[in-house]
């Protein structure tokens, strides 16, 4: 994490010590291709890449599409390299690294290389300093100007080289699909009164990602014993360190009056936050009121509709 005590040094490096050059050779270790950059920039302040290995250690890129405002990065793209999974390293660990960050010029077929002015500059990663990079990586005016070639058809590509020095290159491709096909799951729950305290729907697939509906019939968290709780759950996050985005609606159908109850949310799902929704989706007194039409013959109909979803693929 970037420490506040490093702010003066970081700004100094950004303003006075950056060298920019171009080359044809792609980044050695990791690249992120973003195919829906405008949507990504509106959904997340900071995007963290998947974890990759270089030099026997694990790393990830941290991208601020509109700049790291806490470090005075407004008006720029901010890009950092962070070391991760350090809990098994010995006490007092230090890792010395020479790294370069990249953005691809799609018009000239060259990679703009950003690094310290001193090409042999070595950064020391340690327990109190696990992230290095550039708060003012590239001005947004330059990045958004199509004549520079960095953002073309809402697509861009960033990369990194990390030395200590092991070739384990991967490409992470991120795109966000709006209005995907087959985006609605309808879950008809018969014998609702016999449902367990926590129940999942069958799995359904939207744009190559897998999802389930999670329901607590008698509520959980601050909705316990007051409301039915309904969530969307990402199945991919159970086995992956990647994050998955969805904009979605959760709905309980009114089977009599057609006055359905629905709520909308946006969320980046992760292994630590694999489900997202509403603990107080519908008060139990309304759910159990026969005239409301939500529960008919002990049958409830739940729906999940995904309006936008991320697609993340890793390539060798």
Distance from C-alpha of 273 to C-alpha of 287, rounded to nearest angstrom: 27
What is the per-residue pLDDT for 115? 83
pLDDT at position 181: 93
Residue with tokens 């729906």: 303
List, in sequence order, every beta strand (DSSP E) within 164-299.
Answer: 170-178, 184-189, 199-200, 204-206, 209-216, 227-234, 244-252, 261-269, 275-283
pLDDT at 304: 97
Give me the mean pLDDT over the 182-205 stretch: 94
What is the mean predicted confidence (pLDDT) over 213-224?
92
- Is the pLDDT reported for residue 9 higher than 60? no
Q: Determine what percent of the chain falls in helix, strand and coil, rounding each to the nearest 5.
A: 15, 50, 35
pLDDT digits (tens, 9 = 90+) for 131-162: 999 999 999 999 999 999 999 999 999 999 99
Under the banding of pLDDT at 50, 70 and 90, the label for residue 167 is very low
pLDDT band at 245 (very low <50, low <70, confident <90, very high): very high
Q: What is the pLDDT of residue 10?
A: 38
Residue carrying structure tokens 């360190």: 241
Q: pLDDT for 253-270, tens place per residue?
A: 999 999 999 999 999 999
pLDDT of residue 25: 94
Q: Which residue has the tokens 């793209």?
A: 77
Cβ atoms of 55 and 176 within 8 Å: the answer is: no
pLDDT tens across 94-135, in order? 999 999 999 999 999 999 998 877 655 788 899 999 999 999
Mean pLDDT of the chain: 89
Tokens coding 187: 């879950």
Q: Is 36 helix (H, G, I), strand (E, B) or coil?
A: coil
Q: Which of 27, 8, 20, 71 is nearest to 45 (CA)?
A: 71
The band of 8, judged by pLDDT with boundaries at 50, 70 and 90, is very low
pLDDT at 118: 65
Could you give phi then psi for residue 34, rounded to 5 degrees? Answer: -110, 120
Q: Give pLDDT, residue 119.
A: 54
208-217 average pLDDT score: 94
- Indicate the pTM of the whole model: 0.53
Higher pLDDT, 298 or 241: 298
Share of the chain above pLDDT 70, in %: 92
Residue 135: per-residue pLDDT: 93
pLDDT exceeds 60 at position 165: no
């Amino acid at each position: 994490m970037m420490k506040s005590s490093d702010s003066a040094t970081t700004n100094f490096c950004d303003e006075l010590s950056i060298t920019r050059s171009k080359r044809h050779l792609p980044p050695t270790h990791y690249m992120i291709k973003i195919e829906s950059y405008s949507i990504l920039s509106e959904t997340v302040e900071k995007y963290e890449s998947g974890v990759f290995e270089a030099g026997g250690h694990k790393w990830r890129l941290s991208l601020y599409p509109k700049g790291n405002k806490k470090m005075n990065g407004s008006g720029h793209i901010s890009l950092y390299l962070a070391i991760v999974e350090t809990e098994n390293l010995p006490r007092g660990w230090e890792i010395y690294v020479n790294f370069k960050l990249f953005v691809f010029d799609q018009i000239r077929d060259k990679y703009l290389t950003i690094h310290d002015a001193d090409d042999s500059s070595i950064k020391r990663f340690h327990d109190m300093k696990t992230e290095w990079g550039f708060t003012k990586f590239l001005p947004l005016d330059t990045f958004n100007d199509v004549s520079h070639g960095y953002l073309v058809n809402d697509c861009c590509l960033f990369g990194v080289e990390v030395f200590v020095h092991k070739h384990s290159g991967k490409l992470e491709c991120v795109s966000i699909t709006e209005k995907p096909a087959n985006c609605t799951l309808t879950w008809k729950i018969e014998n609702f009164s016999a449902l367990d305290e926590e129940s999942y729907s069958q799995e359904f697939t939207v744009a190559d990602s897998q999802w389930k509906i999670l329901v607590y019939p008698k509520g959980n968290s601050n909705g316990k014993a007051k409301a039915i709780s309904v969530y969307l759950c990402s199945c991919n996050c159970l086995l992956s360190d990647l994050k998955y985005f969805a904009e979605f609606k959760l709905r309980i159908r009114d089977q009599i009056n057609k006055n359905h109850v629905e709520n909308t949310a946006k969320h980046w799902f992760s292994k630590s936050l694999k489900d997202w929704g509403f603990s107080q989706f519908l008060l139990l007194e309304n759910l159990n009121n026969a005239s409301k039409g939500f529960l008919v013959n002990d049958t409830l109909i739940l729906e999940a509709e995904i309006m936008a979803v991320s697609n993340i693929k890793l390539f060798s």
